[in-house]
Amino acid sequence: MAKEKLLIGAHMSISGGVFNALLCGQELECTTIQIFTKNNNQWKAKELFPEDVKKFFENQKTTGISPVVGHNGYLINLASPKDNVYDQSKESMLVELKRAELLGLPYLVMHPGSHLGKGEKEGIKKIVRSIDWLHQKTKGFKVKILLETTAGQGSAIGHRFEHLAEIIERVKDNERLGVCYDTCHTFAAGYDIRTKKAYQATFKEFDNSIGLNRLGVIHVNDSLKDLGSRVDRHQHIGEGKIGLEGFRLLMNDKRWEKIPKILETPKGEGAARDIKNLNLLKSLVKWSKSACRDSKNGSLRS
């Protein structure tokens, strides 16, 4: 793996404006970041002014951070059996897609939704119907929705690869759909990556069920809770139940070279913990000879 190609970063706050996230990302030496497109725990969205968008593009140019991945808000539930929540979720997701498109984000990561007791079949039906509606409303948009793998906490859909595969298969314009693989969520859902054998089996299963070509983003988080616990609690890299070997395998997997790898570990101590986690992940990478730069540009000319 060549060092300059390493696509790694962390989820960054947009407080003070979306454009700030890029500057914070640069401080942490991120080559990619993830942001919320709006306040993540309110329905209401602060207006996104042309000036904000302009500053965002300027900062993206100066920092070179690319891509910036979007993540949707936590209130959105496209599987909700409650009509008012379902309708509001669709409208809010539409707003987020528009904002993501304005900012040129290639992906908007979305939690598929929770059926709240109505069953997976009913939940998946609602998700498919709402994504079709969203696609109708956003014809010609470049931004793609990425369905995130979930831990399966409560009635969350997406803790089996088959759930996501079924949604993709049933959505009409499914060229516009991909998947975000969260290492904490999948582990809590029962997919092991702690040994080479387990790691290979898990991604083989992912490939068979969903297809590796659908993988758009990887969320790199250790898990506080055990394999199959179905509890979603992120932990710092190497300090959870997955442990370093799983992340070593992930970081050295050439198949993910062009896939953004994003940390979503606890922020408690501010940037310091992000930097520590990022450095730890980078230290796991076995650099290939091609990482020795300057063979062309830096060599002495005689």
Residues in touch with Zn ion (CB under 5 A): 232
Q: Which does 274 bind (CB under 5 to 8 A by kind): Zn ion, Mn ion, none?
A: none
Residue 251 CB, shortest distance to Zn ion, in Å, is 20
Calpha distance 220→77 (Å, rounded)? 23
Which of 52/97 has CB closer to Mn ion? 97
Calpha distance 19→12 (Å, rounded)? 11
Which of 159/219 has CB closer to Mn ion? 219
- Site membership for Mn ion, residue 120 (CB under 5 A): no
Which of 6/108 has CB closer to Zn ion? 108
Sequence-separated (6 or more) residues with CB below 8 Å from residue 62 = none
Mark the segment that binds Mn ion (CB under 5 A) among 3-11, 19-27, 216-224, 277-285. Answer: 216-224
Calpha distance 23→12 (Å, rounded)? 10
Interface residue with Mn ion, options 160, 163, 219, 261 (CB under 5 A) = 219
Q: Which does 38 bind (CB under 5 to 8 A by kind): Zn ion, Mn ion, none?
A: none
For helices 83-102 and 120-137, angle between their N-to-C axes, nearest 10 degrees: 40
Mark the segment that binds Mn ion (CB under 5 A) among 2-10, 61-69, 82-90, 182-190. Answer: 182-190
Give the DSSP H or E segment for 15: none
Q: Which of residues 126-155 bind Mn ion (CB under 5 A)?
A: 148
Residue 212 three-state SS: helix
Calpha distance 97→205 (Å, rounded)? 30
Q: Which two tokens stand for residue 281?
A: 């992940």
Interface residue with Mn ion, options 96, 166, 182, 274 (CB under 5 A) = 182
Which of 67/152 has CB closer to Zn ion? 152
- The residue with tokens 């329905």 is 43
b/e burial code for range 171-204 (CB count within 10 A of at least 16 → b): beebebbbbbbbbbbbbbbbbbbbeeebbeebbe
Mark the segment that binds Mn ion (CB under 5 A) among 18-26, 35-43, 258-266, 281-289. Answer: 258-266
Residue 1 CB, shortest distance to Mn ion, in Å, is 23
Q: Which does 219 bind (CB under 5 to 8 A by kind): Zn ion, Mn ion, none?
A: Mn ion
Residue 40 three-state SS: coil
- The residue with tokens 């931004």 is 143
Q: Which does 232 bind (CB under 5 to 8 A by kind): Mn ion, Zn ion, none?
A: Zn ion
Q: Which two tokens stand for residue 180?
A: 């975000």
Which of 11/194 has CB closer to Mn ion? 11
Query: Which residues form the interface with Mn ion (CB under 5 A)?
Result: 148, 182, 219, 264
